[in-house]
Amino acid sequence: MISMALSEQILALAKQYSGYTAQNLSKMIHAKSLSTQEKEVTEVIIAQMKEAGFDEARIDGLGNVIGRIGNGKKIIVIDGHIDTVDTGNLNNWDKDPFSGEISGGFVYGRGTVDQKSGVAAFITAGRILKETNLLNDVTVYFTGTVMEEDCDGLCWKYLVEEEKIRPDFAIITEPTDCKVYRGHRGRMEIEVSFHGVSSHGSAPERGVNAIYMASKAALAIEQLNERLMFDPFLGKGTVTVTEMVSSSPSLCAVSDFCKIHLDRRLTWGEDKALAVSQIEEIVKEFGAKVEVLNYSEKGFTGTEYGMEKYFPTWKLAEDTPIVQTGIKTYTDLFGTAPVVDKWTFSTNGIMINGVYKIPAIGFGPGNEALAHAPNEKVPVDDLVKASAFYAYFCHII
């Protein structure tokens, strides 16, 4: 039985190290790290892990940072991706997005919410674990994962399939506003290709216009969106056309090719087969081709790796042991029960639990509404809470 004294000790250390955590995060923000370009930030993180006293800190073949504390039989992974999206229009930013400025109780910059703050917090948690003697036969891996923004879950496919790291439990440190999350919708990327017959633009009746076929299908897909399945916890499935590309022999000719790209969000009970069949039914009159896209890119290490862009839905019941441990962790540390909820967007959870069925929860600093937005910032208080949460969870799991 873990005494409340340990929770108080861990929270006190997290508060004591608040400046340390914020500074570590600031250094990560200085290192721009788009997907496949994370090398500089991995070097920053490796140095910080070594400074914090980790038992091991290394980079795997894909570029993921893997830190380790302990050698116990029970394996926990605390995961945070270290790549970010780009800045967009710099005129929309009030501060330099790579300044890592610390002021007014916040750390500012691209990646502070999505999601280097979770990594900074778990490094501090590692330091706390070393100082509080982790004795419960546990090995904790801390993974700073790559290429998530381009293809969520690819990094975890590599960790499980190539590194053979398959934990008993996982914490995903994507932003949750310091709430305990237990799932989110899945997603797919689908492409539909339409082939027409060109003719001179002065006589369109002689041809078959691929743009018209795609447009009719797009309107039917808009109607499909209204009748997709609904889950009381995860919400409704969605589908939307996000891009249309066409070609023709000239701008004076009927289009003989058009393709549309679909963003499909999958709620509980929806899967790849269902989603593809729904689109195939709509476009069968046009003889269109429906494809689930694939991703394959070289990481900064030179390793090329890929997967199909199908990212399964996942959720855990609130009475699942790992969710209950998350609730206890929060309650012991902060004296009140946490809000238990889910993400709107997708995370590495699609692979961790959606594919490999590893029990996982989410707990991370920052508000997900600021992800991919200008003027991204995270409260230093959130860094403190997350650092304490990760450390205490590892003691009581």
Catalytic machinery residues = 83, 148
On whether the CB atoms of residues 139 and 61 are closer than 8 A, the answer is no
Alpha helical stretches, state H, 139-292: 154-161, 210-226, 272-283
Q: Give 315-353 as a DSSP string.
A: E--TTSHHHHHHHHHHHHHHSSPPPEE--SS--THHHHT
How far is 273 from 253, CA to CA, in rounded Å?
37
Q: Tell me the CA distances in angstroms from 161 to 44, 143, 170, 359, 380, one per residue in order.
A: 26, 15, 16, 17, 36
Q: Which token pair is 342?
A: 């889910």
d(C-alpha 46, C-alpha 54), whole Å: 10
CA distance 389 to 164: 26
d(CA 173, CA 386): 8
The residue whose two tokens read 């005129």 is 91
- With b for 16 or more beta-carbon neighbours within 10 A and e for fewer, the 1-29 pattern comes to eeeeeebebbbebbeebbebbbbbbbbbb
- Per the document, the length of the chain is 397
Alpha carbon distances (Å) from 185 to 86, 101, 232, 355? 24, 34, 12, 13
Q: Which residue has the tokens 């403190």?
A: 384
* CA angle 13–17–21, rounded 5-degree value: 135
Rounded Cα distance between 78 and 170, Å, is: 6
Residue 310 is inside which H or E element, if any?
strand 310-311
